[in-house]
Amino acid sequence: MIKEVPDPDGVFNLDADGRVRTANLAQVPSLFDENAAEAAVRLKENCGGRVVAICCGPPEAERTVRYAMAIGADESVLVVDSDRAWDSLGAASILAAAVTSIEADSGTLRVRRMCEGGEDLFSCTPPLLLTVSSEANRPRYPSVMKVMAAKKKPIQRWKASELDAAAPIASATLLGRYTAAAPGNCELISGDTPDALAAGLLSQLREKRVI
């Protein structure tokens, strides 16, 4: 699964309701999903199989699934429903229905998960959901030829209303936003020399029983 998000390097502005204005922001593939797509392609290159990129979004999200095909995905699915504004829970329900609609070979996967002090090793049976962190790999840059080839590949377009999704989920309602107060107390330590500054700092730390 690959998601289209506002460019994190863009300039974000809020409207009167406190919502982020996305109309003028460039849309790009999620950086984390780029890592996931790269991991899937490498798995295919090393072990065989096929990679299907699935995106849930507006018709313009076609550019995101074509990016996935440019780096090595074999097929792509774009789930479109222009009449619905999905929240995270609604989108997850639609994506789950889309994934179960795709035929996949059975088998066993051995998955390594980094943890403090080493790695965890799991033996898993599909279907399953794996998340990929940015430390897993460095996504490749697709060549111009592969980008051009991806533009010619067909994209499966599914309507969310036609998927066998779970019962309709009510959209979340935003009741309000606020910024929590973060009172702080800053005290400057005076001193003419580094030794005097260090002595003043130590004195303050001892007084507050930090050391």
Q: pTM for the full model?
A: 0.72
The pLDDT tens digits for 100-159 are 888 777 778 888 888 888 889 989 887 788 888 888 899 999 999 999 999 999 999 998
**What's the average model confidence in pLDDT over 48-73?**
92
At residue 171, the pLDDT reads 67
- Residue-range domain boundaries for the chain: 4-162
**What's the average model confidence in pLDDT over 24-42?**
91
Average per-residue pLDDT in the chain? 84
CA dihedral 167, 172, 173, 175 (to 10 degrees): 150
At residue 170, the pLDDT reads 62
At residue 108, the pLDDT reads 82
Q: Using 50, 70 and 90 to split pLDDT, how confident is the model at 169? A: low
| Fold assignment, 4-162 | Rossmann fold (3.40.50)
